[in-house]
Amino acid sequence: MNWRAVLALGALVLSGACHSAGSGDDPPTAAPSPTSAPSPTATPDPLGPPPADAAAAVAGLTGFFASQPGAGGCADRLKSAWGAFCLEGDVDGDGKADAAYLVPIHPAASAAAAPAVVVLRRARGGPFERFPADGDADASALGLLAFSIADRNGDLTAEISYLRNSCTATACSGHVQIQSWDGTAWRDIGPGDDGVVAVSGIEFTGKAADTKIAVRGGKMTAPGAGPTRP
């Protein structure tokens, strides 16, 4: 065999080996393109922003406790997010502690300095109840003096008390209301007056049926009212 035949045979063998090694391999595939991680979805706050009216306060509390069934009656979140105040006591005589919330509201316009609503959450469940329905409660320092859950009439159940404001263009009158559950409905057993103009102090003395309420005020501040005394 001459040298030309040897070279031709070597080239043929090499070509067959390369073809055999490559014929069984899968075709090359492109590297997978990187995928971005899905962006986290923000969970809406069931409590929502500070309420603008009494209905929004009830809706926010309802949603908050529905989303957190294990939350205690006086949850810290209500104070930190809304500035709400909370008290507990048995107002319906079922032996379980109910919770009442004094919730500041932020209406677009109000003559009252610190409008609020009192919302009751009963331990046995059921819809939340509000006092007064139109949100005329007071959440100022004086309103906090009036806000209580305590037995005020000696029936061994607690009553809910709060300061309700009635405002004109020149002055606000404060009326301490005491809501008592008679087994079927709420009754206001507070002072039977029309309120005190420009309340400056509220004090509870005594207990149960011996409870007395002193409301100080009465000083007119409108121009032209003339000399007045509390």
Q: How far apart are the first and last CA of the chain?
A: 136
Average pLDDT over residues 198-220: 91
Q: Which of 7-11, 31-35, 51-55, 217-221 has the lowest mean pLDDT?
A: 7-11
pLDDT for res 73: 85
Tokens, residue 200: 């400056």
Measured CA to CA, the distance from residue 67 to residue 45 in angstroms comes to 10
Confidence class for position 100, pLDDT limits 50, 70, 90: very high
Kindly report, residue by residue over 158-174, the tens digit of the pLDDT: 999 999 998 887 888 99
**67 φ/ψ sector (left φ>0, alpha ψ -120 to 50, else beta):** alpha
pLDDT for res 110: 78
Measured CA to CA, the distance from residue 182 to residue 70 in angstroms comes to 29
pTM: 0.76
Measured CA to CA, the distance from residue 23 to residue 21 in angstroms comes to 6
Closest by CA position to 139, among listed 29, 54, 41, 30: 54
Kindly report, residue by residue over 28-66, the tens digit of the pLDDT: 565 555 565 655 566 667 788 999 999 999 999 999 999
